Structure formats: C-alpha cells, structure tokens
Amino acid sequence: MTQAKTLNPIAATFKALKCKECGAEYELTASHVCEACFGPLEVTYDYNTLRRTVTRESIQSGPNSIWRYRSFLPVATENVIDVGTGMTPLVQANRLARRLGLKKLYIKNDAVNMPTLSFKDRVVSVALSRARELGFSTVSCASTGNLANSTAAIAAHAGLDCCVFIPADLEAGKVLGTLIYSPTVMAVQGNYDQVNRLCCEVANTYGWGFVNINLRPYYSEGSKTLGYEVAEQLGWQLPDHIVAPLASGSLFTKIYKGFQEFIQVGLVEDKSVRFSGAQAEGCSPIAQAYQEEREFVKPVKPNTIAKSIAIGNPADGIYALEIARKTDGSIASVTDAEIIEGIKLLAETEGIFTETAGGTTIAVLKKLVEAGKIDPDETTVAYITGNGLKTQEAVQGYVGEPLTIEAKLDSFERALERSRTLERLDWQQVLV
C-alpha cells in the first residue's frame, strides 16, 4: 500500500484489445473478434501503472458505485454514466448457512443492483459509457431479458437511442420492464442463440453499438466489479470458494479476472479461490462438458424456466470450464423444480427474492455442499444476479395463497387457528 490518494487516477490505463487465443493486439475500437484467428478480444491494462497509482484508500474515497474501480475499467472519459450501479450488499447469510451446514456463507446480492435489479447494470454502465466516447448514438443488445431492461433504462437516462432484441417468449416482467423506458423492442421468434446470430448480422450492417457484440470486450469488463467488490467487502481479502451462475460464461471468467488483477496490483494477498458454476439442467452445455470431462462445449437447445441463463451456445463456455477445473471447483446443474426450491429457500432464510438464475445458484450451492464439494469451513460467496419480481411466473403456484378473511376479529382468529393446525400437520408429516 502506498499513501492515500484523494482521487482515482483518471489517465486511461487500458491499452489494447488482445486476442485470448493467439495474442494478436488491436486498437481500442468497437470490435470483438480477432481478424487472424477469430478468437475473442479482451481489454489489456498497464498493471505497472495501476500498481503504482491505485490504493485501497484511493478506491474507498471514490464513489459508492462500480466507478470507484474506474482505473480497472475500459473507459477514458471522466463523464461516465453513474446511476449508482454496484456496491450491492454482501450479506452474511447465517440462517441459510445453518440450513445448509456451512459456517461462513455470504450472498452477493445483485437482485438489488441499480437501476434495473440485475448484475447487467454493471456491464451496461461500462458499455454505454464506452459507446458514448466511441461516438455511438444508438445502442443495442441481444438479451435474455435482464440485459434488455438494463440497456433500455441506462440508455434512457443517458439520452441514447436504443433498440433491443429479445426472444419472443420472455417473462412478462422482463418485457414490460423494457418497454417502460420506450426503446424499440424486437421480439424475435426463436431462442437466445438465434437472437444473438441475428444481432451479429445487424451489428455488421448498422452503425449501432451492440453492448454484447461489437462492444463486448468493454462490456464484459464490467463484471470484474463483482470480484472487486467482494474482495473489498470482505475486508480486502479473497473468499475460499465462489458459486456463480453460468450463461455465456463471461460473468464467471470476469470475476476470476477481477480477483487476479487485485492480486497482481497488490490490493489483496495472493490466494487460490475455488470457482464453482451453476446451470439449469434444461440448458447445461458447460455442466455437461464438465461432467463428461470434455475439452469442448457442445451447443444445446434450451428448455428451462431459467430463461435469463438459457444460452445454448455459450461464447465463453470453454474459458469457464477451464477456470472451474484449474481452481478445483465444480460445475453442476439442477432441475426446474430444484430451482424453484432454491428461490424459496433463499427468500425464507435471508429475505432475498431472486429470479430463476439465483434459484439455480442456490440449488447448486446446496447440491455441492451435500456432495461434499464445498467444505463447511470454506468462506463461500454465492452470487445472486437478478430479482424475483421479474420472473413471477416461475414461482406463482408454488408459494401458497393468502388466507382470505373478513375484516373481523373472529374471522381472523378462525383463519389463524386453521393455519396453525395445518402447520402442526406439516410438522407431524415431517416427524413421521
């Protein structure tokens, strides 16, 4: 640690786009594929400068949002879009921990991320800040729902034109939660992978900034903040084990990159963190590759209630696989019924209402503990990435009904008596 700085250094520390496969370097334009080998491009930084200029204190004196880590984000302008995104609670989940038989469990709660209640607000805040400085006036995305909400909302705040693409069968809350911001919404008859292919064509034809296509190298860096924040919130140290959902695999790899960068610049001590990933059985190409010990990910056709992570052909699947293997983590999948149980378990024990992706994470967490793949003594962090109010269909019918009563004391008392009798019966069934 060097001495405290009052401001984050503004001078851009991101240097180039670099192919993850062949290492070829490119200028910092709106492109995402290596011209030489078609590998994905990633942003590189000047870590020597970062090591010299960034301290725990300089970060802590920054804004209470992802922009406290701006030196590690690929945006040059001072005029970033800051709508309070990030710095979501890291909740010590004692009641859930006891239920699962863990000693130290935390929930990183992006179900309350700002402004649109999912981790996508992180990547979109970065992508649109970058889009603006690259001169785009129209922004777009291929989305499973949360990304559409986030892109439409943050574009509205920033005054950018916006056109989003979603699969036509999305949950009502995700469609309404996009339309409300008045973007153009294209509902594509097909699954996410088809939406994504169409968007790649559109991106090549129109001069639009697609956050997760031509802006993807910048966009995806936003997920690193989910690593930084956990490290800072744990008192500048890394956890022992993390569990996160796998859709494209990008989130998983970027949390890893975030931890590695903090180690590299000396903000936390070096430590190995186990990375475990969660998928829904109805769309589990990465979990299947893991189970079958394959080196490649075979695309699947999604069929699950966990629509926000239903990516059958995950762009960063092999990188996620590699990280789970080399950190001694696991990748597992759970059924739709287990996902609903996961949502309910987290709500009942911790008062956090998550969407199907979060239910997947909690159900996989439970499964891994039961299989002995998470040690009770490990400090474990489960990443909850979205809010349950957006996928109400998934749990409607599984949470019971209110007891309808008249506005009279005796009507209430009869209902209370009935509910207590039912509860006792429930317990007797448990005990039998």
Cβ closer to a copy of itself: 96 or 374? 96
The interface with a copy of itself within residues 314-333 (CB under 8 A) comprises: none
Give yes or no for residue 234 binding a copy of itself (CB under 8 A).
Answer: no
- Near a copy of itself by CB under 8 A, which window of 29-37, 146-154, 258-266, 317-325? 146-154
Cα dihedral angle (206, 212, 216, 221), rounded to 10 degrees?
150
Cβ closer to a copy of itself: 72 or 181? 181
Give yes or no for residue 35 binding a copy of itself (CB under 8 A).
Answer: no
CA distance 224 to 115: 18
Inter-residue contact 344 to 290 (CB < 8 Å)? no
CA distance 76 to 283: 38
DSSP state of 39: P
- Near a copy of itself by CB under 8 A, which window of 19-27, 300-308, 367-375, 381-389? 381-389
For CA atoms 14, 275, 341, 287, the dihedral sign is: positive
Tokens representing 206 are 């129109």
Give yes or no for residue 50 binding a copy of itself (CB under 8 A).
Answer: no
- What is the DSSP track for 346-357? HHHHH---B-HH
Sheet holding 209-210, edge to edge: 161-167, 138-142, 209-210
Tokens representing 109 are 């709660």
Q: Is 146 annotated as a binding residue?
A: yes
Cβ closer to a copy of itself: 39 or 190? 190
CB of 322 to a copy of itself, least distance (A): 31
Give yes or no for residue 139 binding a copy of itself (CB under 8 A).
Answer: no
- Indicate which single residue of 16, 76, 198, 318 sits in contact with a copy of itself (rule: CB under 8 A): 198
Cβ closer to a copy of itself: 344 or 373? 344
| x-marked contacts with a copy of itself along 148-187 as a string, rule CB under 8 A | ----xxxxxxxx---x--x-x---xx-xxxxxxxx-xxxx
Inter-residue contact 359 to 346 (CB < 8 Å)? yes
- Indicate which single residue of 412, 417, 424, 427 sits in contact with a copy of itself (rule: CB under 8 A): 412
The interface with a copy of itself within residues 59-98 (CB under 8 A) comprises: 64, 83-84, 87-89, 91, 95
Long-range contacts of residues 294-303, Cβ cutoff 8 Å, at least 24 apart? 297/321, 299/193, 301/191, 302/191, 302/192, 302/193
CA distance 34 to 17: 9
Q: Which helix (H) or strand (E) holds 120?
A: helix 120-133
The interface with a copy of itself within residues 203-222 (CB under 8 A) comprises: 205
Cβ closer to a copy of itself: 274 or 366? 366
Q: Is 385 annotated as a binding residue?
A: yes
CB of 183 to a copy of itself, least distance (A): 9
Residues tagged in the binding site annotation for pyridoxal 5'-phosphate: 146, 385
Residues tagged in the binding site annotation: 146, 385
